[in-house]
Amino acid sequence: MRTLQQHPGDFALLCCVVLLLPLLSHGADIPLGSTLSPGNSASWSSPNNTFSLSFTPSPTSPALFVAAITYAGGVPVWSAGAGAAIDSRGSLRLTSDGDLQLVNGSGAVLWSSNTGGQGVAAAAVQESGNLVLKNSTAILWQSFDHPTDTVVVSQNFTTRMNLTSGPYIFAIDENSGNLTLRWTSGSNTVTYFNMGYSTGSKTLSSPTLTIQTNGLVFLTDDGQPASPALVAYSSNYGESGDMVRFLRLDADGNFRAYSSARGSGAAPEQWSAVSDQCRVFGYCGNMGVCSYNGTSPVCGCPSRNFELSNPSNPRGGCKRKVDLQSCPGNSTMLQLDNTQFLTYPPEAINETFFVGITACRLNCLFVSSCVASTAPSDGSGLCFLKISSFASAYQSAALPSTSFVKVCFPGIPNPPPSPSR
């Protein structure tokens, strides 16, 4: 546990050092009234410069900037406002009444710690990577309680928190203590990873996920600190050295453990929650089909009746060349062998049938809202109709599933897979 207290004398001294050296606040407390902006290259750093808070170009729009805490070498672990981006005239400011605010060039406050008037006397970036707002005796707000997509060593991830990345959310289910990964779009939610880890107790009172310095990932419970459940081993388990370990919900919807050697800027993967990336719902976008080319997941379309929605982004899904409502003739069900439309429990019960392959095809053809149907052929005899506006598919020679996609007549199959696969 990190000490939450410090001596009032040190506090006052650090304040003065900072006032003399406003741009070089290595490890010192950041006084009220301090400001970071993309224009100056200032940063707020931890005592040994292990972590620092500064503006970095937004990964999605490089002309804009994100206020991020990065590990030495450049691996980001937190950002103000979950990656909210400001223009070059904006700033991150610690107001005189103790509120930390991300402000864009127009003066609009895009994010705030909501700590104004609560007695905050200074900010600091700790050696652990935790950004704290504090008075002389206590921490009043900490970034560790408001994670964005990453959890580092010594950070507690609890049921009150979630990690987000695009349409993806990682959370601990507060009732079961299960680790969950969800895809959301509007009112649609699909839970594509839902895993329970036994801690020896039937009900978890306050499950907490942590990654240890040795690379083990544990789920602990307040009531049962002596019996943590092992969630994962990092593949470089036990390796030590000047490195940071962390868990991250990646933009591809997978949840992974990483380690990064100080100064390297690189973070090799050590474990992933979903071992088969093609089983991450929505990875290839709407009507996209995930398959493997060698060991890499690649995205394509169900048939030549479709094309990529955005040719420069295969993950952006597929669109029909001709809408079903505009078919010049009638529509038909094109058979896709070794293909499954991903179906995670609980699939809407009225879209599930116990029927054979032929009926699976015909049932969809005659339900006007159905866009595809899939028979897992796993012995269950089930057929799932895809009614919702979003469908995510997986194709592999190893899959026994047969699917059907509704297209304007005639259906034009994709060319056969290249002989390299």
Residues lying near ligand NAG in the complex (CB under 6 A): 1-2, 47-48, 87, 104-106, 108, 110, 119, 127, 130, 135-138, 140, 144, 154, 156, 160-162, 169, 176, 178, 194-196, 293-294, 296, 298, 329-330, 348, 350-351, 387, 420
Which of residues 141 and 306 has its CB atom nearest to ligand NAG in the complex? 141
Least distance in angstroms from the C-beta of 34 to ligand NAG:
20
Residue pair 219/229 in contact by the 8 Å Cβ criterion = yes
Least distance in angstroms from the C-beta of 364 to ligand NAG:
10
CA pair distance 175, 235, nearest whole angstrom = 30
Least distance in angstroms from the C-beta of 160 to ligand NAG:
6
ω into 346 cis (within 30 of 0) = yes
Max CA separation in the chain (angstroms): 83
Which of residues 162 and 272 has its CB atom nearest to ligand NAG in the complex? 162
Least distance in angstroms from the C-beta of 54 to ligand NAG:
19
Which of residues 183 and 258 has its CB atom nearest to ligand NAG in the complex? 183
Backbone angles phi, psi at 102, to 5 degrees: -100, 120
Which of residues 237 and 327 has its CB atom nearest to ligand NAG in the complex? 327
ω into 410 cis (within 30 of 0) = yes
Which of residues 117 and 265 has its CB atom nearest to ligand NAG in the complex? 117
Lookup: tokens for 122:
């200074």
Least distance in angstroms from the C-beta of 193 to ligand NAG:
10
- Tell how strand 392-395 and strand 288-293 pair up: parallel
CA pair distance 311, 307, nearest whole angstrom = 8
CA nearest 286: which of 306, 266, 258? 306
ω into 314 cis (within 30 of 0) = no
Q: Give 214's contacts (C-beta < 8 A, 6+ positions apart).
A: 237, 238, 240
Which of residues 104 and 165 has its CB atom nearest to ligand NAG in the complex? 104
Least distance in angstroms from the C-beta of 175 to ligand NAG:
6
Which of residues 162 and 212 has its CB atom nearest to ligand NAG in the complex? 162
Least distance in angstroms from the C-beta of 331 to ligand NAG:
7
Rg from Cα positions in the chain: 25
